Amino acid sequence: MINHLHLETHSFFGLKPGPKVIVLGRVHGNECCGTLAIKNVVNLFNTQVLTLDSGKVTFLPIANPLAALRGTRNGDRNLNRAFYPKTSDKNNFEDKLNNILCPILEEYDVLLDLHSFLNGDKPFALIGNTSAGKKDFVIGQKHVCTSEHQLVSALNVDTVITNWSDTYTRGVQKRRKRDGKHSPPFTLNYDEKYGDGTTEYARSKGAIAITLECGQHQEFLASSVGKNAILNLLNRLQMTRTETCVNTDNHNVTYIKLFDVIDKLSYGDKFVKNWKTFMKVEENEIVGIFESGKEIRAPKDCFIIFPNQNAEPGQEWFYLGEKPNT
């Protein structure tokens, strides 16, 4: 039974010093895999199959109970946008959640936010910049330094997207220039902070923050991807010991760094093919055509990321990404 009037959490404390980890599910109400993954892991703790040796882990299986109750992505709005404390006394439901969730996230060293997607072929993760997000922990008697780049390799995904927030911000700046919006107050479409979600907020408070897209919304195995990711993460942080974890020490991860975002300008804008995330596009290849007839061509060999033919005019239509030079 989902009660939209309160949030439910489950916390476990180890007897030795260690990281403080929080795992979120169902930030979007129609993405059930995170909730199921969390319930499975909580059950392992409650039945003593799994023991927390160090640190603290908190599970929040349903971060947006109103959206979950309705079975929709959002309640009053997208909880994973404009995620920061609100001061208005005329708040919508997600604004009220912000004022509860933001102080909670500030308490933790590591955030894992579990999601699912509508179209795509395989799970993937999103982090900030690969050079950022480093953090020191005391685990037992040892000081350990880790980062988003190092921790995401424990999640057993093949592909990791980086630099989303910076690319979104540049996209908003281009949108303002294009539409002549030069000074505040800005509506949401022109507000750089509108792109801030759970991970951006946690990262701004010094945490390591990772989003895991576990699979398609209705995919049976998506919750298993989430469950295994939680177990692997806790094991990598030396908070638990379990033989069921997948050995990810030599797992090969492909990083894709976003570098541009293209807005949809009108309802008549069309893709030239049914693009899916991670599809390759060659330099000068036509990606789409604006209603005006102007062609959008790839500036170089790259990847299509998050194509959305149903985007509203003035919203992100698709992103472009490339393998970073490392």
Domain shared by 55 and 179, yes or no: yes
Please determine, for residue 132, whether its predicted confidence score (pLDDT) is greater than 70: no
Of 2-6, 143-147, 169-173, the range with the lowest mean pLDDT is 2-6
- 230 within some domain: yes
219 falls in which pLDDT band (50, 70, 90)?
confident
The pLDDT of 191-197, averaged and rounded, is 89
Q: What is the CATH number of the domain that holds 217?
A: 3.40.630.10
Per-residue pLDDT tens digits for 74-123: 999 999 999 999 887 567 899 999 999 999 999 999 999 999 988 778 99
Interval 240-254 mean pLDDT: 69
Residue 20 above 90 pLDDT? yes
Note the pLDDT of residue 131.
58
Higher pLDDT: 129 or 194? It is 194
E strand or H helix that includes residue 33: helix 33-46
Whether 147 and 223 map to the same domain: the answer is: yes
Residue 190 lies in a domain: yes
Helix ranges (DSSP H) in 74-196: 93-105, 148-152, 164-179
31-63 in b/e burial notation, b at 16+ Cβ within 10 A? bbbbbbbbebbbebbeeeebebebbbbbbbbbb
- Tell whether 117 is covered by a domain: yes
What pLDDT shows up at residue 85? 93
> Are 213 and 261 found together in one domain?
no
Three-class SS of residue 53? coil
DSSP 9: -
pLDDT for residue 145 is more than 80: no
Classify residue 188: in a domain, yes or no.
yes
Q: Are residues 208 and 308 in the same domain?
A: no
Would residue 5 count as lying in a domain? no
Question: What DSSP string describes 187-244?
Answer: -GGG-GGGG--HHHHHHHTT-EEEEEEEEETT-TTHHHHHHHHHHHHHHHTTS---TT
Same domain, 291 and 245: no
Tokens linked to 185: 């107050």
pLDDT of 243 higher than 70: no
**Residue 1 in domain:** no
Domain shared by 219 and 90, yes or no = yes
**Same-domain pairing of 92 and 232:** yes
Averaged confidence pLDDT in the chain: 90
pLDDT at 123: 95
Q: Is the pLDDT of residue 1 over 70?
A: no
**Is a pLDDT exceeding 80 seen at residue 220?**
yes
Do 309 and 202 share a structural domain?
no
Residue 259 pLDDT > 90: yes
CATH at 315: 2.40.50.100
Strands (E), 14-141: 16-24, 54-60, 110-117, 124-126, 135-139
> Is 202 found in the same domain as 279?
no
Check residue 180 and give its pLDDT: 87
Which residues span the domain enclosing 187?
Answer: 10-252
Q: How confident is the model at residue 4 (pLDDT cuts 50, 70, 90)?
A: low
Span 240-268, average pLDDT: 82
pLDDT of residue 90: 66
Nearest alpha carbon to residue 133 among 205, 229, 206, 196: 206
Does 4 reside within a domain? no
For residue 185, is the peptide bond before it cis, meaning its omega torsion is within 30 degrees of 0? yes
Residue type, 254: T
Dump pLDDT digits (tens) for 24-33: 999 999 999 9
Percent of the chain with pLDDT over 90: 74
Q: Would you state the pLDDT for residue 65?
A: 94
Separation between Cα atoms, residue 222 and residue 202, nearest integer Å: 24
- 52 with 201, same domain: the answer is yes
Domain end point (choices 234, 252, 270): 252
**How confident is the model at residue 133, as a pLDDT?**
59
For position 285, what pLDDT does the model report?
Answer: 98
pTM of the model: 0.92
Determine, yes or no, domain membership for 2: no
The domain boundary, picked from 228, 252, 276, lies at 252
185/281 same-domain check: no
User: What is the structure's pLDDT at 261?
Assistant: 96
Regarding whether 58 and 142 lie in a shared domain, the answer is: yes
Number of independent structural domains in the chain: 2
Domain finish residue from 252, 272, 290:
252
